Each structure stands twice: as C-alpha cells, then as structure tokens.
Structure 1
Amino acid sequence: MRLEKLLAHAGHGSRSEIKRIVKNGWVRLNDRPVKDGGIQVHPLQDRITVDGQLVHYREFIYLMLNKPQGVISATEDSRERTVLDLLDEAHAHFELFPVGRLDKDTEGLLVLTNDGKLAHNLLSPRKHVPKTYFAEVEGAVTEEDGEAFQAGVTLEDGYVAMPAKLTVLVAGDPAANRVSKIELTIMEGKFHQVKRMFEAVGKKVVFLKRISMGPLLLDERLSPGSYRELTETELAELQQVTK
C-alpha cells in the first residue's frame, strides 16, 4: 500500500496535508525519515510514526448506529443530511457506508462499515438474515394479520412477501384512539416493506424502529444519532451468520 493512502486511511489528514507532513520530515518508516509519500509500505509489518506517534492501521471498521428520524441512509446527498454526517472525525475518514437502508422517518439499528464482503452477505437474499422491527400501528392488529404475514402477504405490486413473524405487544383500540404496538421479523428487505405489508392488511404504520439484524441487537443505551463500534463478539456473530 502507498504510504500516503495508509496515512489517509488512518486519519492523518487530507491528501495535501499528508504531502506536507511527509515533506516536512514528520513521518518515519521503521525509524527512518521518509520524504516520498508514494513509497510502498506493509500496513501490518512496517513501523510508521507521525511526529513521534505510532500509526495504527485498521483495514475494516464496523459501527452500530441508532439512526434518528430525518436522516437518510446514504453516503452523500446535496439536500438531505446523511448518516455519515453523524460521524465524528475519528471515524469519518474511513469511507464507511450503511449496510442496507432505513427510511428517512424510520429509526433504529443501522450498521456502517467499509467491509464490502460482510455488507454483501448481510444483504444477500440467499442468506435470509432476519431483521426485527418495533412498530406502532393505527387500529387493532389481529391474529388474522399474523396469520396473513406468516402465509406471505401480497403487496400492492403483486409481490408475495416471504413468511414473517408478527408479535402483538399491545393490542390497539380504535375506539380509545390507542395504537397497536408490535414486533415484526422479516427475512428480506424490500422497499418500505414493513409499511407495505401492513397496508396490505388495511393498517397504517405510524412509527417504525429496527431493533435487530441477525444476531445483532440495537444497544438501547445509544440515543438516536449515537453510535459505537461493534464488540469482537458482535462482529464474530455477524460473520458467522453470513457464512
């Protein structure tokens, strides 16, 4: 890997800033000063320091974000705030991307990473990684709705969804203006799928939050807009489920 690329990946500045610190002799490779940022280095074997501080290289990074409402699941947008805008400087330089999407008005668990292989496997239709959502739904969600979801409900465009598991936490009461509170586990991720599934049985979702993806559970200590790195155990479990 080129030295300049490694330093950028490790968060030591923009391309022009890195050229400047290299030119000024602040970078040392195996205890020798370097003046050429284009030289090839080994990220894990070479000892690289910047102004005396050891450079710690990490190829991949994995974050758990509690996505807030009003933010889109994208890497950039000219008009809207994206999930990457929530990251601090220590993580922003890793060129992360969201694994899948949550609607702008949906909150909850979103994984951000630069590991394309893991992201592909988590989203692959062949892997059938389950995703569980908490939702508030207008009106009374019934056992018949659960049976329809388990059988595979037909969406408005004719697509038949895979069987899904519905759990009613609080029964709604239209007369009392009380919404139903439910959890729904689906095995795929079609556009607006949870909302469209409830529309197919004559119901409307008024609040939606993803609470799990495969074995990964949303850390409820994370307030909306906050994030943390995955633990080694969480990452190992994600990698296991996508093998």
Structure 2
Amino acid sequence: MQLEKILQSQGFGSRKQCRQLIENGNIAIYGEVYSNPKADIEVNKLEFIVAGKSWQYREKVYIALHKPIGFECSHQPQHHSSVFSLLPAQLIERGIQCVGRLDQDTTGLLLLTDDGTFLQGLTHPKKHVAKRYIVTTNRPIIDEQITQLKQGVALRNEQGIYAADDCMQLGENQLVLTIHQGLYHQVKRMIAAVGNHVDALHRDQIGQFKLPDDLTEGQWIYLSDEQVNQARQLV
C-alpha cells in the first residue's frame, strides 16, 4: 500500500496532510526516514514512527476504555465531556464509535471500534450479548428484590417482562446484575421496579471480556487479536 494511503487509513488526516508529513521527513519505518508518499509498504505487522511517536498499522481498531463518571458516549455531548476526548485524535479521525453506551453517571467497561459489522453484531438485540454490572443501591437489598429481578419485572412503556440473566447480592446495598438487553436506563429502571434506587452503577464485563484490573478510570487499551476473536464468536 502507498505510504500516504497508509497514514490516511490510520487517521493522520487527509491525503494532502499525510503527504506533507512524509515530505517533511516526519515518517520513519524500522529506522529509515521515508520522503516518498508513493512508496509501496507492506502493512502486515507494520510499525512506523510519526513525529517521534511509534504506531502499529491496524486495519480496524478495537478498544477497551475504563469510562469515568461525568463523560457522555457521544461525539456531540450535551452537558458533559465526551468519552472521545480521552482518545488520540487519530482514532477519532478514523470514525471510531462506542459499542453501546453508558450513562454519564455510569463507570466501567466501554468498547469502541471503527468496524461497523463488529459494532452492529455486539449491539443487535437478537445476539443476547451479556453485560454485567455492579449495582450500589440507596436502600438495603432484600431477598424478595433479588427474586423479582431473576423472575422478571415490567418496565414502563416497554412490552414484556425483563429478567436478569444472573443476580447475586454482594453486600447490604450492593449486587451484581447481568442482562443481555440494552434498553434505555434498563438497570436503573429494573431496580426502581422492585422498589429500590441506584446510587452507583459500574459495568465490569461484556460477554467473556472483563474490565482489566489494572486499567484505571480514563485509561484505554487496544484489544488483542485473541480478545477480538472471542468477541466475534458472540456475534
């Protein structure tokens, strides 16, 4: 692939901007500075340096972000900062999107990608991809509420009954809840339906992928090929 096309595909700007980066001597591959925008480069396992920073060629990107509180999952946030402000400009230029959303007051695992097929597969209701949440409630949790959540509750303006795939109490005011749907404010509405209220909500798992213990709030990582393949098996 031509070098200028490689840079453009990786989010370094328009073809013209990428050409200028190359002609100005800002691109190096395996220690060699390239000045020819039309140079034909093998992209398999390609690593390159742009203005002193190392990058790896990725046909598509798959990212796990530990979302902090106070961030909206939108490119055009209304009342808070955007989660995309936590990412490099190159990823935003590639058109990366959130795989589902978390409310601004919800923390935890958020996946992002520029692979439209992957995104649609994980978010399609028929795929039943499990999502696990740690829920902190305002009032003590009682056994009857756990039973109701497992059996299913009715939600206002929704058809049918919505049950937790799994529900287990962790403490007096805390439980772990797994659902596979993705209704608006679903966990909060389910907890309200059994007579309680959510004070804090944290998602720690999607499918088989768990939020890494060492990934602190605001940090992100690229998913490994193995992790991407595991996620693909869900869709």
Q: How does 1:10-21 map to 2 (within 5 A)?
A: 10-21=10-21
Aligned mate of 1:189, from 166, 182, 193: 182
Aligned mate of 1:216, from 209, 217, 227: 209
**For residues 215 and 139 of structure 1, what CA distance do their matches in structure 2 show?**
30
| TM-score between both structures, scaled by the size of structure 2 | 0.81
Contact 1:66–1:224 under 8 Å retained in 2: yes
| TM-score between both structures, scaled by the size of structure 1 | 0.79
- Matched residue, 2:142: 142
Moved more, 145-154 or 82-91: 82-91
- Matched residue, 2:194: 201
1:133 aligns with 2:147: no
- Matched residue, 2:109: 109
What is the one-letter code of the residue matched to 2:168?
T
Matched residue SS, 1:85: helix
- Matched residue, 1:228: 221
Q: In the superposition, relative to structure 1, how do residues 57 and 223 fare at CA in structure 2: closer, same or farther (>3 Å)?
A: closer
**For residues 23 and 120 of structure 1, what CA distance do their matches in structure 2 show?**
39
- Matched residue, 1:99: 99
* RMSD value, Cα: 3.2
- Matched residue, 1:177: none
**Alpha-carbon offset, residue 92 of structure 1:** 4.0
Query: Larger radius of gyration, structure 1 or 2?
Result: 1
**For residues 144 and 70 of structure 1, what CA distance do their matches in structure 2 show?**
33
**Alpha-carbon offset, residue 95 of structure 1:** 2.1
Q: In the superposition, relative to structure 1, how do residues 105 and 79 fare at CA in structure 2: closer, same or farther (>3 Å)?
A: closer
Q: From the two aligned structures, give the one with the greater strand fraction.
A: 2
- Matched residue, 1:169: 170
Identity of aligned residues (%): 32
Contact 2:154–2:162 under 8 Å retained in 1: no
**For residues 189 and 110 of structure 1, what CA distance do their matches in structure 2 show?**
13
5+ unaligned residues in a row in structure 2: which ranges? 29-33
5+ unaligned residues in a row in structure 1: which ranges? 172-179
- Paired residues, what number? 227
**Alpha-carbon offset, residue 107 of structure 1:** 0.5
